[in-house]
């Protein structure tokens, strides 16, 4: 089973409305997803469509669940609703464990979340700040902003 590199990149400048969740377990994810869906519907300054909002929720769930399963708690998930789209940043206390997308694996066996987030995003990366690893993705808010899908 091969692995793709998740690029080491600093977090882009994130200006906008900020929403944050501190997560201690996978059981907290359904409530966090519901809250995020509600917040996305209420953002007036973004031309968000229903598809982009659901893609943000999906990326949020994938990165947060990865951090909860493979990182160290507490996990902090932050979404910035900026004029250029959604900036999603998920951090945990396992800076030594870099994100490692799987390749050449039967999707039925799982482990495809980082690849999915990379395809949904216009930019993505990770970095370490002190004792926390941050995995981030920038997602578009509308169909016209979407990057072409990778083959």
Give phi and psi for 61, each to the nearest 5. Answer: -65, -45
CA distances from 129 to 10, 11, 19, 132, 135 (A): 10, 10, 20, 5, 11
Q: Which domains does the chain have, with CATH numbers?
A: 2-145 (3.30.565.10)
Contact 57, 40 (CB under 8 A): yes
The whole-model pTM stands at: 0.83
Q: Tell me, what DSSP letter sits at residue 76?
A: E
Most confident residue range from 29-33, 78-82, 137-141: 29-33
* Cα 3 to Cα 97: distance, rounded to the nearest angstrom: 14
pLDDT in the model for residue 146: 45
Q: Mind listing the pLDDT tens digit for each residue in 45-95?
A: 555 567 888 999 999 999 999 999 999 999 999 999 887 789 999 999 999
Residue 19, beta-bridge partner list: 79
pLDDT in the model for residue 5: 67
Contact 92, 134 (CB under 8 A): no
pLDDT in the model for residue 10: 62
């Amino acid at each position: 089973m091969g692995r793709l590199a998740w690029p080491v990149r600093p977090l882009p400048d994130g200006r906008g409305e900020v929403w944050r969740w501190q997560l201690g377990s996978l059981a907290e994810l359904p409530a966090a997803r519901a809250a995020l869906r509600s917040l996305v519907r209420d953002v007036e300054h973004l031309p968000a469509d229903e598809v982009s909002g659901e893609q943000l929720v999906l990326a949020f769930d994938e990165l947060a669940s990865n951090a909860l399963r493979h990182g160290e708690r507490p996990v902090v998930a932050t979404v910035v609703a900026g004029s250029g789209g959604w900036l999603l940043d998920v951090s945990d206390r396992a800076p030594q464990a870099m994100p490692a997308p799987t390749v050449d694996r039967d999707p039925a066996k799982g482990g495809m979340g980082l690849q999915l987030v990379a395809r949904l995003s216009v930019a993505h990366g990770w970095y370490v700040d002190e004792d926390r690893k941050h995995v981030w993705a920038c997602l578009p808010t509308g169909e016209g902003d979407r990057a072409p899908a990778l083959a």
